[in-house]
Structure 1
Amino acid sequence: MPYTLEEISSRLEITDIYARYVHAADARDFDTLDHIFLPETIFDWTSCGGGKMSYTEAKAGPVFQGKLFPWSYHIYANPQIDCLDGGERARVLVKAVNPSGLPQGGNGASGSGSGKPVMFQTHGTYTDDLVKTEAGWRIVNRYWDEAFITGPFEKVEGIPGMLGLAGVKMDG
């Protein structure tokens, strides 16, 4: 069945939310994030040992502020968008790979580790519930289903660092 013009518009708007999210999350751009989530949006990280909290609580906490993971990068792909209730709500499943890291010897939230960065990658799926508001689509519930974590990896500085770690010598 072909999509209506309104369904196409909603799907493009929802896809745009995920592109804006990954860039804003990595830049800690809360002005943009405030237009993706509602203050009462619930984040549920219980699948990985975390808790549940509102967006307001999450953005003031150590993860969003970069104190727990000072190195963070978000990669989202393959959004599966199901529009519900005549196009007023949607459920989206999106695959996520989040390379991140913390200082070796750090105690987490204080960010006081003095060692080299220890890098990891989390792999999983976000299941998000969205609602269409007068201001556009907003995520109102976010559930993280962690599949696995890989690591630890060593953080290297650029391609020369990567080549050096691999024992490759560049002429020149």
Structure 2
Amino acid sequence: MPLTVQEMSDRFEIQDLIVGYCYAVDTRDWDALDHNFTPDAIIDYSEMVGVSGSLAEIKQFLAESLTPILAFQHAVSTTQYRIEGDRAQTKTACYNPMTVSNGETTDTLVFGLWYIHDFVRTDEGWKISRLYEQKCYRMNVPDWLAAQLPPA
């Protein structure tokens, strides 16, 4: 069945939020996340790094925990959409290579994960109300970092 103009617009707005989240993290622009999420959003990284919390808590966590990450790049693709009125949910594949250093060694590792987002349409347009990161795989994680993460 063909998409309506509204359905296409909704998908583009939602995709912009997913990509905007990735660019905000990759550039360490934590305040940019305020534009993507509802004020009461929950961000759940428990499967990937063992942390879940409010937007303010996650912004602080990211600012503090990403220090050993020299570079990272979130590449997203293959998004599935379920839009029902003013609510939506997506599942998106994310490929996330990172260069990390503990001061002694530098390694490049890769996380593969699924972003599961819940969205709500607001007066300002679509916003993310919940983000859940579902673990898929990880490769080349150095022992010093693996010790800080939930089991593989």
TM-score (norm 1): 0.74
Provide the residue aligned with 1:100 in structure 2.
98
Identical columns (%)? 29
Provide the residue aligned with 1:9 in structure 2.
9
Q: Which amino acid aligns with 2:57?
A: E
- Larger CA Rg, structure 1 vs 2: 1
Q: 1:71 and 2:71 equivalent?
A: yes
CA distance in structure 1 between the partners assigned to 2:63 and 2:121 by the alignment: 25
CA contact (8 A) 1:45 1:144 kept: yes
Q: Which runs of 5+ in 2 are unaligned?
A: 143-152
CA contact (8 A) 1:41 1:139 kept: yes
CA deviations over 1:32-60 (Å, ceiling 9, x no partner): 22111123211112223512111110101
- The Cα of 1:68 is off from its aligned counterpart by 4.6
- The Cα of 1:141 is off from its aligned counterpart by 0.8
Change (3 A) 1:135 1:19: same
CA distance in structure 2 between the partners assigned to 1:131 and 1:71 by the alignment: 31
Pairs within 5 Å for 1:1-172: 1-61=1-61, 63-65=62-64, 66-84=66-84, 86=85, 88-103=86-101, 106=102, 114-152=103-141
CA distance in structure 1 between the partners assigned to 2:69 and 2:81 by the alignment: 29
Q: RCO (CA 8 Å, sep 6+): is it higher in 1 or 2?
A: 2
TM-score (norm 2): 0.83
Change (3 A) 1:91 1:64: farther
Q: Which amino acid aligns with 1:102?
A: V
Look up the SS of the partner of 1:2 in the other structure. coil
Q: Which runs of 5+ in 1 are unaligned?
A: 107-113, 154-172
Between structures 1 and 2, the one with greater strand share = 2
Root mean square deviation of aligned Cα? 1.9
CA deviations over 1:90-130 (Å, ceiling 9, x no partner): 00100011112321xx3xxxxxxx22322211101011100
CA contact (8 A) 2:52 2:58 kept: no
